[in-house]
Structure 1
Amino acid sequence: MKRTLIRYKTKPELADKNAELVAAVFAELKVAQPDDVRYMTLRLEDDTFIHFVESADDGSSPLPKLAAFQAFQSGIRERCVEPPMPRGAIIVGNYRMLGEP
């Protein structure tokens, strides 16, 4: 599995809108139930968002095909004061938070 962590900070007045767009992605995932992706998003108290994605080794993912994800991606840079910064990630430790790697 390929693991990616994406971090960005939204403008305070657009943080709730961003959270709504993210929630719509999870609602669509719940309906579609794709097997080849794992996805988690955190919102910190300073309106920083952290997304953690596990996808196929080749990086392919069903996320970009989802209408809600496309809506979320549209205008993301305009909602941010710090743009999205994707980074590869390696799980060093995991106690009952995520499924076993």
Structure 2
Amino acid sequence: MTTEDTTVIRYRTRPGTAEENQRRIEAVFAQLRAERPEGVRYQAYIQPDGTEFVHIVQGDSEVLRSLSSFKEFLAGDRIDGDTQRTSSTLIGIYP
């Protein structure tokens, strides 16, 4: 995994869909824990307003996209507005 392979994704969910969105994210984490694929690091956050989510993907995002749970996560119409996606370079992380 290189520092150039970091993507930050931020979006807001439509009214009434945040819980479903979180459930689908949790399913992705369950599959990641079960299968333990190499080459990707994934983090997801819900912001204090309860409708905005931030995902951080490091490494090979194709590994994440290949998961059945991630494909299920992408299905549906829960996003309100545009998704902001930025490439970032990691300076440091602890631990």
With the shorter chain as reference, the TM-score category is: 0.7 to 0.9
Which residue number corresponds to residue 99 of structure 1?
A: none
Q: How far did 1:45 drift?
A: 1.8
2:55 is the counterpart of 1:51? yes
* Distance in structure 2 (CA, Å) of the matches to 1:55 and 1:90: 11
Tell me the alpha carbon deviations over residues 27-48 of structure 1, each in whole angstroms, 9 at most, x when there is no partner. Answer: 0000110110000000002211
Q: Which has the higher contact order (CA 8 A, sep 6+)?
A: 2
Q: How far did 1:12 drift?
A: 3.1
CA gap 1:93/1:82 in 2 versus in 1, 3 angstroms: farther
Tell me the alpha carbon deviations over residues 60-85 of structure 1, each in whole angstroms, 9 at most, x when there is no partner. Answer: 5211111100000112xx21213322
Runs of 4+ in 1 over 2 A off after TM superposition: 91-96
Match of 1:18 among 18, 21, 34: 21
Aligned length: 91
With structure 1 as the length reference, what TM-score do the two structures score?
0.81
Which residue number corresponds to residue 82 of structure 2?
A: 83
Question: What amino acid is the match of 1:22?
Answer: I
With structure 2 as the length reference, what TM-score do the two structures score?
0.86
What do you get for the CA RMSD once the two structures are aligned?
1.4
Report the identity percentage: 33
Q: Which stretches in structure 1 are left out of the alignment for 5+ residues? A: 97-101
Which residue number corresponds to residue 5 of structure 1?
A: 8
* Distance in structure 1 (CA, Å) of the matches to 2:81 and 2:35: 31
